[in-house]
Structure 1
Amino acid sequence: MEKKVIRIGSVGVGAIWTGVHEPGIRRSPDLELVAICDIDAEKLRAVGEKYGIDEAHRFTDYRDLIRCPDVDAVDICTSNDAHFEIAMAAVEAGKPYDVEKPVTMTAAEADILAKATAEKGLPNMVCFSYRFKAAARCARELIEQGKIGRVYHVDMQYFQAWGLPRCNTPRVWRFVKSRTGSGAMGDLGCHALDLVRFVVGGDYTRVVGHTGTYVTERKRLDGTGMGPVDVDDFCNYMADMEGGVSASFQITRFGYGRGNYQRMEIYGSEGAIVYTLDAEPGREDELEVCAGDVYADAHTFVKLPIPEHCRSDQMQSFADIINGSADGKAATIADGRSNQRVLDAILRSAQEGRWLAVPKGE
């Protein structure tokens, strides 16, 4: 396939777009930002002026952006409730898309989107961004190479702190079930599910979950008083995976002192791997390994240098997918659909208080 510069139209120009997507588009020699869309007209104007997008390519309706002949591919960075309809519109227009996680609000929506995308044969990507962390990719390689033998256990933590009362975070859309689907589970937990699956391999077979909400109301954005919080602030869950792997997860937006912290411990028959991400200035994701009798007997983990070939970039990967030169490690709608099925099962398990099998699909 001939390599080409792909003209990107971004829908939703909030924090995740300005912090991750736009810088990635700008870094890639294969992508060009040509159009933006947001329902906030003032934000749209400010962003358009900042990034040099002329008024003819600023839209308040995503349908107009998708119809724009200058847009080759659609970048979806909205609240969760809009992912499905925007992605479906891109599919109907025959345009490749990337979409933020979780891919949809329900597994049923994810099934519909996956089927429609496959029928059109469209390039696509789901933005499980931690697949692009070099330490995570290195851990995956070590497991594929058999460096720690058969994997027995995985323990995964993902902590942030912005939900704590001391942060005074108002009732943004991530606290409203009709906009987000779930709270910490859909915000952070889906990342954790995908990262463990990506690194260890194998699908989830059954799950059990426990969720809770610490702050049950927050200040409304329009200043009209307090509004209810109807999503989870934390979610703890366990899972069985293919190959006999047992996994446990702790997810919270109430992790005092944590900005964006992940820790994955993987224990096998011949070694162990510890992946750590502490997203603070000057700190990079890290990998520690204990393998071999000498290190095992001394209870010693050694920090590994991360090979350069493990470094990657999310938005460049989207360009590579479209241009037919991808490495196959980015998540697609098939991964997003699988993730949504597990997410739904965990939330239902938490309501029913029992283990549930993860539904199988195509």
Structure 2
Amino acid sequence: MGAIARWAHIPGILRSPDLTLSALCDTDSGRLEAAAREYGIPPDQCYSSGEELIARSGVDAVDICTPNDVHVPLALQAAYAGLPFSVEKPLALETAQAEKLARETRERGLANMVCFSYRFKAAARYAKALVQSGELGELYHINMRYFQAWGMPVCQTPLLWRFISARTGSGALGDLGSHGLDLARFVTGREYERLVSHNGTFVHEREKTDGSGLGPVDVDDFSNTMAQMEGKLPAVFEITRFAYGRGNYQRMEIYGSRGSLVYELDAEPDRDTLSLCQGEAMRRGNSFVNLRIPGECQADQTQCFADILLGKGDGLAATVEDGLKNQRAMDAVLRSAKSGQWEKV
């Protein structure tokens, strides 16, 4: 069981009154046995391959929280078996994969969710409601930052799968940038039209996880993008895993003709906040007011998946179709970083 399974997915299943954890899969037998003991899963419901779990376990739905290269293969297996699924982000390694999964899911009419987890932050949901109600007026600018620090040399992070393109597709872009691209689209309701990007790598070799020496890093450590969204709305994205002092920091600023919003995550530990400015447009100093976020904006990612399975989803969770649009934007970022030119999404 990887970190995202233990920190987010399994606790979410255990919290939900509508879900039961009934089978587990891990390619590491030691981790699988430990998780089975911890969560009380019988040996005959523990599997070393996702394909076997899907074929034999008798589950009603599948939750896929694996490295990126396995997302689409396992989701396709679930789709072919007629099983609803949730899957971690980014959806795929490249657009063609995402298109195939979207097509197969669409044709079968299967319930599904892509785990863009920050859609479930209350501040993000309230920002969406305010923006799309016209509270800010005509939108002029979006600036999105997503900063972490764990890639820095001082952190001594080894050559994890997130640094290997064959496993992950891209680096900071897919890990963090996929969230940023999705959040801006989620809050504004606008699609991406074209963009230009600059990606780069600071650390080109890292210690292999088996201790056998150094191995090459072939993905980006940072990604900076200027994008044009629908209505010629300009958006700027700064993404890095080399921001000293930033554990998991997000900041999205949205500027309009009648006001501005600032969404922040982790400015205070593990807390999402939203502030609004609708006072003097040219005032010097901070005229932003912290907003009290309505209780109805609170949401739990895994419970939202349960609601989707029960036919009562709120329509705000990301689907495979959203994952496909996100993948198209990321692939345009990679093309632009290589060509040095604006690219259509």
List aligned pairs for 1:129-140, cutoff 5 A. Answer: 129-140=117-128
1:263 equivalent in alignment to 2:260: no
Q: CA deviation at 1:298?
A: 5.9
- Aligned amino acid, residue 349 of structure 1: S
2:304 paired residue number: 317
1:342 equivalent in alignment to 2:329: yes
1:21 paired residue number: 9
Runs of 4+ in 1 over 4 A off after TM superposition: none
Of 267, 278, 286, the residue aligned with 2:266 is 278
The aligned length equals 344
Alpha-carbon displacement from aligned partner over 1:86-106 (angstroms, at most 9, x marks no partner): 000000000000000000111
List aligned pairs for 1:46-61, cutoff 5 A. Answer: 46-61=34-49
Q: Distance in 2 between matches of 1:258 and 1:78?
A: 25
Of 192, 199, 204, the residue aligned with 2:187 is 199
Gaps of at least 5 residues in structure 1 are: 1-12
Alpha-carbon displacement from aligned partner over 1:224-258 (angstroms, at most 9, x marks no partner): 10000000000000100002210000000001000
1:141 equivalent in alignment to 2:129: yes
- The farther-off stretch of 345-354 and 62-71 is 62-71
Alpha-carbon displacement from aligned partner over 1:202-227 (angstroms, at most 9, x marks no partner): 10000111011000000001111000
1:113 paired residue number: 101
RMSD: 1.1
SS of 1:210 mapped into structure 2: strand
Identity %: 57
Q: Distance in 2 between matches of 1:220 and 1:176?
A: 11
1:10 paired residue number: none
List aligned pairs for 1:1-362, cutoff 5 A. Answer: 13-278=1-266, 281=269, 283-293=270-280, 297=283, 300-358=287-345
CA contact (8 A) 2:193 2:230 kept: yes
Q: CA deviation at 1:296?
A: 5.4
TM value normalised by structure 2:
0.98
Q: CA deviation at 1:71?
A: 0.6
Q: CA deviation at 1:146?
A: 1.0
CA contact (8 A) 2:45 2:57 kept: no
SS of 1:139 mapped into structure 2: helix
Q: Distance in 2 between matches of 1:22 and 1:71?
A: 15
- Aligned amino acid, residue 308 of structure 2: I
Q: For the structure 1 residues 258 and 136, does the alpha-carbon distance in structure 2 shift closer, same or farther, using more than 3 Å as the test?
A: same
1:9 paired residue number: none
Q: Distance in 1 between matches of 2:107 and 2:267?
A: 39
